[in-house]
Amino acid sequence: MLKFIRSASTLFFAFFTACSAQAAISVPEGSRIALAFKEPGSEAVAAYHGDTFMIPASTQKLLTALAASLYFGPDWQFKTRMLAPQGAIQNGVLNGDLVLEFDGAPDLTRQALVNLLAYLKQQKVTQINGDILLDVSGYGGYDHGDGWSWNDLPICFTAPASAVVIDRNCVFAQLKANQLGAIAEPIIPAGQPITITSEARVVTQQEYYSGCDLRVDMNSSNNYHLTGCIPQQSGTPWPLSFAITDPTAWGVELVNWAARRADISLTGEVKAVRHVPDNLVELAHVPSAPLKKLLDRMLKRSDNLIADSLSRALGHYYLKRAASYAAGADAVRGILKNKAGIDLGSALLADGSGLSAHNLITAKQMLEVLDYIALHDNELQLIKLLPVAGMSGTLGSRGSVQNPPLVKNVTAKTGTLQNVSNLAGFMTTASGKRKAFVLMTNGLTFPPEVRRALKAHRIASPHYKFERQILEQIYREAPIEITE
């Protein structure tokens, strides 16, 4: 058994062999946990495996949010700019190439592109004697982070945070699956520049939830091939959503579409480039939502696209390097050290979202980030952007915090990957003290029948009992005994 003991300035765990009146809390079978908590500004830190490196999952977005707030400020915006050579517009014609400079804005839409190109019509321009060039030179490296799960790549929560992001780099379709034993038929909405082919067979719900999954193979031209199984649907087709695999091709197709919608003709073509002429002037630009609004969505909904777009942008603007995942990780680390005094030491950052299983951080390091956020919340205004237990975001329905005293009292960032479930945030204890806490559970797994029930959404995760017990003891400011 393990129990908190208070020393002169530090709370720590010590080993005990005798039983206590307080029932010990059992760690989920075979898993690894790390726990740390404190009152912001206090030197007294309670920690269990607090210096053990753990996979943070989406709690890593706290680092990205803090770094972006410190460097960019709440009103900073991405800008998608439209440029042309000086003096190129004459008599209703733009002579030369039109350049669209993509800055990785995660909320850019196809309609915003139409509106941007419509500026030319306001200037009486109806024709471009040249090409439309998509400038993606600010970005470098892969559009997916190191350590992302390959079988998650077709899913929209792993949409690539590339230079070109349009409609969140996510496309929607449907599968007609109403006849058992038949091949499911893809339905692609008009205007979506993708192809979907199918060999997926329609099966019963029992067959599907017993392990016959729908599989997606994809290539670099935004083509998707479906195999495996899909459960029978009565009437309504099965909804599909796919992450774009080739953002540049996606951008070329949608800019072509936007030019047609804006009634702009061109003698050349639409293509992506990494070098543009020097004598360009800005004609117009589309701003993203300000940082404070992007962070609100990122933290409440655990939005990976926004997190990685911001991280890569930090790499570009703070380090003056091409916006890669590695540059973003270096920038976050540098900003936290130079502007907040937080030295991440041997922690490993592979992206800004926490999607990568390569990320590693300790509970104490994460607690240091929370401590800084709490002590500077008047300027940062980040705590109010976090999900609230039973009320908002990813804590709105989390089973561990739906009842008193935790409901409405825990304000925290969740972090979930395969076999990982974390929480990092704040609560007010029974005595009225604010506590910052980090609870990380890695190596979390269950018997096959439990995993099948979780996949079918028939049960809540069994580990929520452990999570609730830990949080309630922190709330009561009571000793915590843990058995492994």
Q: What is the CATH number of the domain that holds 385?
A: 3.40.710.10
| pLDDT tens digits, one per residue of 409-464 | 999 999 999 999 999 999 999 999 999 999 999 999 999 999 888 888 889 999 99
Q: Say whether both 120 and 154 belong to one domain.
A: no
| pLDDT tens digits, one per residue of 2-42 | 444 333 333 444 333 333 446 799 999 999 999 999 999 99
Q: Say whether both 415 and 354 belong to one domain.
A: yes
pLDDT for 213 = 86
* Domain containing residue 299: 2-75+291-483
Lowest mean pLDDT among 18-32, 206-220, 300-314, 317-331: 18-32
273's CB contacts (< 8 A; 6+ apart) are 133, 134, 135, 136, 137
Task: Report how many domains make up the chain.
Answer: 3
Q: Say whether both 194 and 213 belong to one domain.
A: yes
Q: Which amino acids are annotated catalytic?
A: 58, 61, 302
Q: Say whether both 164 and 133 belong to one domain.
A: no
Q: Say whether both 239 and 253 belong to one domain.
A: no
Q: How far apart are CA 337 and CA 344, in angstroms?
A: 8
Question: Residue 448: in which H helix or E strand, if any?
Answer: helix 448-455
Q: Say whether both 105 and 158 belong to one domain.
A: no
Q: How far apart are CA 56 and CA 355, in angstroms?
A: 9
Going by pLDDT thresholds of 50, 70 and 90, the confidence category of residue 91 is very high
Say yes or no to pLDDT of 366 above 80.
yes
Widest Cα–Cα separation across the chain: 91
Measuring CA to CA, which residue among 352, 285, 364 is closest to residue 316?
A: 352
- pTM, whole model, 2 decimals? 0.93
Q: Say whether both 106 and 235 belong to one domain.
A: no
Q: Say whether both 85 and 129 belong to one domain.
A: yes
Q: Say whether both 90 and 225 belong to one domain.
A: no
CATH of the domain at 126: 3.50.80.20
